[in-house]
Structure 1
C-alpha cells in the first residue's frame, strides 16, 4: 500500500484560522483531505507541528501522525521528519492547503521509474511529489532549507505533465480557502 503524506505542520500565518481546522460543510479541512486520499486507496500519514495537540484531537486512528517539533524550520523539515519516522518504499507528499488532485495525478507519479517524480501543470511544477526511499540518506543529509531547492539540485527527477489544474490551487489566504474548499 502506498502512503501519502499530508504536510500540515505550518502556522497558517496568512489565514484567520489554522488551515487544518478550516470548517468545510461541517467538517475540518484536514479530515476532508484525509477522506479523499483514503477513497483513492492510500494509507495516510499527517505531519503536524503548530497546534499539534489541538489538531491531533480531530484525527481518528486511520492515519499515522508524525510530530515535527521543528516545523518552524519550514516544510523541508517536515519531509525530513517523515523519512526519519516512516520506513516506506516511497512516499507521496501533498499539502493541507491544496485540493487533493485527481487519482490520475498520483498514478502518473507512481509510474515513473525516477527516484523523484513531480507533477507539472502547464509547464509549472506543483505538488504532489513522490520520493523513493533510495533518496532517504541523501535527503536527510542535505543542508538545503527548501524541498524545491533540494529537488532542483537532484538528477534523478521526472517532471510529469498532468491535466489537473488543482495541483496549482494554493489556499493560503481566507479568500482562497473559501474559493477552493467551500464550492
Structure 2
C-alpha cells in the first residue's frame, strides 16, 4: 500500500465493528448533531494532521463502508468481530504495524462517545509528550478509559487481548503508571436506547 505523503507520528484506531446487541440497531448509524455517530467520530480524528486514522468495522460492514467511503481514513474489515472488541483492537494495531511501522503511539477510541472532540485527543498527545508515559488515559466518573494513548511498549499486549475485552483491561493493569486527562461527559456512551435518549436530551438543553 502506498504511504501518505504527510509524515504521520500517531495512529488512531477507531473501533466501530460491534453488533450493538443491547441497542438492537447499529449504534454507528445513530444520528447525532445532523450526522451519524461514526461520521462524527471520524471527523474528530481526521483533524489530527500528524495521525493516520484506521477505522475497524465488522457488523453491518457493507452499510458502513458506503457511509464512510469519502473520508480520508483507512478502513479494516474485522472478519472476527463476533469475538468481541479485542479482535478489533488486534486488527487496528496489526494494520498500523504493517503499513506504518514508524508509528510508536496509538490512540484507541470508540464511535459512541459523542463528547470526545479533537481538542481532547490533542491533550492526550501533549500529555504523552510531556510525561513519556506508556499509557495516557481519559478519566471520567472516577475511572480511567478510552480514548487512550498507548506507547509501543504495550503494543504486544494489545495484540494478546482476547474476547469481549477492551483496552480498559490494559489500563487497569498499568493503573499506577498510566497518566490521565479529564474528559467532560466522557461517561456518556451509547449501548441502549435509554442511553441514546439521554444523549439527545442532554444535548438539547446544553
- In the alignment, what sits opposite 2:144? 125
- The counterpart of 2:87, out of the listed 74, 77, 90, is 77
Runs ≥4 residues deviating over 4 A: 142-145
Find the aligned partners of 1:152 and 1:165 in 2 and give their Cα distance.
Answer: 20
2:178 is the counterpart of 1:158: yes
Residues 11 and 54 in structure 2, CA contact (< 8 A), matched pair in contact too: yes
Unmatched segments (≥5 aa) in structure 1 = none
- In the alignment, what sits opposite 1:114? 133
Residues 99 and 181 in structure 1, CA contact (< 8 A), matched pair in contact too: no
User: What secondary structure, in the 3-state scheme, does the structure 1 residue paired with 2:146 have?
Assistant: strand
Residues 89 and 159 in structure 2, CA contact (< 8 A), matched pair in contact too: no
Find the aligned partners of 2:91 and 2:109 in 1 and give their Cα distance.
Answer: 15
Aligned positions, number: 182
Tell me the TM-score normalised to structure 2 length. Answer: 0.75
Residues 144 and 171 in structure 2, CA contact (< 8 A), matched pair in contact too: no
Tell me the TM-score normalised to structure 1 length. Answer: 0.84
Structure-2 change in CA distance of 1:157 and 1:181 (3 Å): farther
Residues 116 and 132 in structure 1, CA contact (< 8 A), matched pair in contact too: yes
1:156 Cα shift? 7.8
Unmatched segments (≥5 aa) in structure 2 = 1-7, 98-102
Find the aligned partners of 1:128 and 1:31 in 2 and give their Cα distance.
Answer: 16
CA deviation digits over 1:100-151, x for unaligned, max 9? 4244432332222122221123531121111122322233245686232233
